[in-house]
Homo-oligomer: A and B are copies of this chain.
Amino acid sequence: MEQTRTEIADFGEFGLIHHLTKNNETQQASTMVSVGDDAAVIDHFGRQTVITTDMLVEGIHFDLAYTPLNHLGYKAVVVNLSDICAMMAVPTHITVSIALSNRFSVEALEDFYEGIYTACQQYGVDLVGGDTSTSPKGFFISITAIGEVVPGQYVTRSGAKPGDLLCVTGNLGSAYLGLQLLEREKRIVAENQNVVPNFEGHNDLLKRFLAPVARLDIVEWLHENNIVPSAMIDISDGLSSEILHLCQKSEVGCLLFEEKIPISQEAKEVALQFNMNPSTCALSGGEDYELLFTIPQSYYEAIADSETITIIGYMTPPESGVYMQTPSGNKYALKAQGWNAFSE
């Protein structure tokens, strides 16, 4: 099937921005001025603004060999919304800046923006600005997300106290295993061009990697039930690294129970296929974008019946250190397996 290819040069910068944003409909009553002026204007209605930004780089954060452009646009938005959720705030606006080389066509960019608009619609967020630039090589995406919160109701990483329960949403390790499946199929296809990738039965893992969810549902549920976490972070780098962040910022220790870490049956099976320990995938894998938070023990009853929230440990005095206890009772100091792409 032959596809139309329109060169980006046929539009020029202003034409291109207009083309990509001409169907951009705003959903937020707070959006006074959107795309197309020097800046956007946002009203507040007595709320506080929460702001975060992320840079995604081709070859570092994503591989276009197995990332469809509409998924990339979608995911680039969601990872930023997840940071807003991790402050217990509700995302409202984004700006999107991209730099890309002329190996991309206008149709490719349209796919990318389709993913962006899908995420915006799903989360009720307005795209209100951005910048489009050439890049000598590679595709660079910089997204800034803005959210709002009732004054003082935001939650930082630094409020956990010894005795607080450590909770996590959903399950962990799936995104990492989805990535392993994609990497394996990429290698197989590279060796034999006639092979069709086979992901049968692993849709959930692929989806968790390609189209993650920002846990706005949990933020809303916690607000509705007047549950106020003492500290919160989203899991982008792996459970281990995020627990260490919470402990460092809150100046507390932690005891994590390995058997409590929620891991799906599918993730467990695929981990074993790859000869990996499922816990290691959860601890070091990353990109799950679940929420990790601490709550005072007084909230125990309120969350004990939740099917989405799992208590995986508790916070301890700082001198107790940060440990994981295995089912057999052994304790291991948690180590960050976080991002260090510079040393690669």
Which residues of A are interface residues toward B (Cβ below 8 A)?
7-9, 11-14, 16, 32-33, 36-44, 46-61, 83-84, 86-87, 89, 93, 95, 97-99, 102, 128-138, 140, 142, 144-147, 149, 151, 154, 156-158, 232-234, 249, 338-344
Judge whether B135 and A140 touch: CB under 8 Å: yes
Most chain B CB within a 10 A radius of its CB, from A44, A46, A55, A58: A55
A284 to B129, CA, bound (A): 25
Judge whether A39 and B13 touch: CB under 8 Å: no
Smallest CB separation, A118 vs chain B (Å): 21
Q: A39-B50, A60-B136 are in contact. List 20 more A-B contacts (CB 8 A).
A: A11-B342, A37-B249, A38-B87, A38-B234, A39-B89, A41-B48, A42-B48, A42-B50, A43-B151, A44-B44, A49-B146, A51-B93, A53-B130, A54-B97, A55-B132, A56-B133, A57-B134, A95-B144, A97-B142, A135-B138
Judge whether A342 and B134 touch: CB under 8 Å: yes
CB < 8 Å: which of B16, B102, B144 contacts A53? Answer: B144
A338 to B238, CA, bound (A): 45
CB < 8 Å: which of B47, B58, B87, B128 contacts A37? Answer: B87
Judge whether A49 and B42 touch: CB under 8 Å: yes
CB < 8 Å: which of B9, B57, B249 contacts A133? Answer: B57
- Chain B, Cβ-Cβ closest to A341: B134
- A249: B residues at CB distance < 8 A: 36-37
Judge whether A154 and B55 touch: CB under 8 Å: no
Question: Can you identify 14 A-B contacts, CB atoms within 8 angstroms?
Answer: A9-B343, A13-B339, A13-B341, A32-B154, A38-B87, A38-B234, A39-B52, A39-B83, A39-B89, A42-B51, A51-B144, A54-B131, A95-B144, A137-B138
